[in-house]
Amino acid sequence: MEEVHIGLLTIKLVLGFIALFIVIKVTGRTSINQLTPFHLVFVFVLGELVGNMLYEQHVGILVFVYALGVWTVLMWGVEFISQKMKWTRSYLVGDPSIIIRNGMIDREELKKNKLDMNQVLSLLRQDDVFSVREVQYGILEPNGEITVLLKSKYQQPVKQDFNLPENQVDLPTSLIIDGEILLDNLRKLGFDQNWLKKQLEAHHYDNEKDIFYADWRESDGIHISPRSQ
């Protein structure tokens, strides 16, 4: 009897995993920051649904699949409608809302979005903004975060402001991970193991096994993190 229960539990776990995978693929949202309140409610309910059904032995596989299927189809339907019918998006997903203009809080927008001042200040501090006076525009996004455009005098200067020449921007390529040389990456760069050995020796390392991580960037050269500092 116990083996039957384990088999049923295993099947439900696999089906629940597949359902969650499909939801992520359908919605295209891979992190909490991308979820709107609607999506959060959906995911929480789906998690609760799967959790309850996993341990309810009297709930058969067909009922379990049916419940997952209906909930997933509902989510997919809402996603489809919000993409195809633009006028439904504000109701189903939400619209951005300008809550700060030229350092002034729009109290009506705060009321409409059920926000208080403490919440706004907390969200601003997460963006390293410690005073509303610094903000030209503050936009409340559908996922609950605030996107901030600072006033010009509070913005960090960039090279363009000083008419400085631009530097080349290139991506680093991993060469060693946990003591193992990534030969494919090495070949893509046009290098070989002898070249890598010389690079390591120049930094006083005799063996790649002593390296936890190393990468190469054309503009900076090699960067090495040893296994022990």
Task: Write out pLDDT tens, residues 149-185.
Answer: 888 888 877 667 677 777 776 788 999 988 899 999 9
Report yes or no on 166 lying in a domain.
no
- In what order do the strands lie in the sheet containing 97-101? 104-105, 97-101, 135-140, 146-150
Percent of the chain clearing pLDDT 70 (strictly above)? 79
CA distance 156 to 146: 19
Clarify whether residues 124 and 145 are in a common domain.
Answer: yes
Clarify whether residues 84 and 9 are in a common domain.
Answer: yes
- What three-state secondary structure class fits 171? coil
User: Contact 115/123 with Cβ under 8 angstroms?
Assistant: no
Report yes or no on 167 lying in a domain.
no
- Give the DSSP letter of residue 128: T
| Confidence band, pLDDT 50/70/90 cuts, at residue 2 | very low
pTM score, two decimals?
0.55
192 pLDDT more than 90: yes
CA distance 58 to 64: 10
Characterise 137 by phi-psi region: left (phi > 0), alpha (psi -120 to 50), beta (else).
beta
Residues spanned by the domain of 192 = 173-226
Domain count along the chain: 3
Q: Choose from 69-83, 85-99, 111-125 the range with maximum mean pLDDT.
A: 111-125
| Confidence band, pLDDT 50/70/90 cuts, at residue 3 | very low
Report yes or no on 207 lying in a domain.
yes
Predicted confidence at residue 4, as pLDDT, reads 46
Phi and psi at residue 195, to the nearest 5°: -60, -45
- Per DSSP bridges, beta strands 211-217 and 221-226 are antiparallel
29 pLDDT more than 80: no
Q: Which of 43, 68, 90 is the last residue in one of the domains?
A: 90
Helix ranges (DSSP H) in 95-140: 107-112, 117-126
Q: Encoding tokens for residue 161?
A: 């402001």
| Confidence band, pLDDT 50/70/90 cuts, at residue 229 | low
Clarify whether residues 177 and 220 are in a common domain.
Answer: yes
> What's the whole-number mean pLDDT along residues 124-148?
87
> What's the whole-number mean pLDDT along residues 36-49?
70
Nearest alpha-carbon partner for 25 in 86, 79, 62: 79
Clarify whether residues 76 and 18 are in a common domain.
Answer: yes
